[in-house]
Amino acid sequence: MPSIIGLPEVLRQPMRKKRSLMPLVYAAVVIVLFSSLYLLKYLNVSELYGKPVSDLQPATRQLLKDPHYQNIILPDELDRRIESGEPTFVYFFSSDCGFCRETTPVLMPIAEELGVDLPQFNLVEFKDYYRKYNIVFTPTLAYFEGGKEVSRIEGGIGAGGHSADDYREFLRNPKGAAS
């Protein structure tokens, strides 16, 4: 039998001085610490955005509890909603855009008053969607029907932008107000 040469070596093993288990314990502790650091991040996932709060932009983190920013729509759902062909408005904003911050608290109550469901898409968290939906000037309020954009109103409420009434008119009659 060829293994007979190896056999004595295996038998000799228990005779060695017993090695300390401490290095293994240290290693285990380090592994547990590292993995918990990694997992901690996923304990604090934003329900609104479906990703860890630590992955969100600082400006977005500030808005998480803001009552005017609770109708957030995420990329997949946005695509589905538009592709479904049903008429829908989408408010494209960026959480770090000052103009948007002035506009949202005025616009959302108007939408509510008119009974319009106005999903809010935060472009700064999903930047590829700037190009995908050709958004240049945030905020942009767009109206989609039949899977494509019908009209939009660019720029916010305030200096250099539009009035609250312009937005009200757009929400009432998006096809007539095409710009």
Partner 1 sequence: MRSARDWLLGGVILLLAGFMAASGCSGGESAGGDGHEHGVMTTEGEWHETTSGPDELPSFLLRYADRTVDLYAVVYEHMDILRQLNCYCGCMDANDPHDSLLRCFLVDVQDDGSITWTDHGANCGICLMELQDAVAFAKQGKSADEIRGLIDAKYAPADL
Query: Given candidates 49, 69, 94, 174, which one binds partner 1 under the rule CB under 8 A?
Result: 94
Say whether 154 sits in a helix, a strand or coil: strand
The residue within the footprint of partner 1, chosen from 48, 78, 82, 97 (CB under 8 A), is 97
* 89 is a site residue for partner 1 (CB under 8 A): no
Give dist(CA 40, CA 166) in Å, integer: 46
Answer for the pair 149, 137: CB distance below 8 angstroms, yes or no. no
CA 126-131-133 angle, 5° bins: 90
Please give the Cα distance from 151 to 117 (Å, whole number). Answer: 17
**Could you give the string, one character per residue 9-48, with x where binding to partner 1 holds by CB under 8 A and - elsewhere?**
x---------x---xx--x--xx--xx--x----------
Binding site for partner 1 (CB under 8 A): 9, 19, 23-24, 27, 30-31, 34-35, 38, 55, 57-59, 94, 96-101, 123-124, 127-128, 130-131, 134-140, 154-156, 158-161
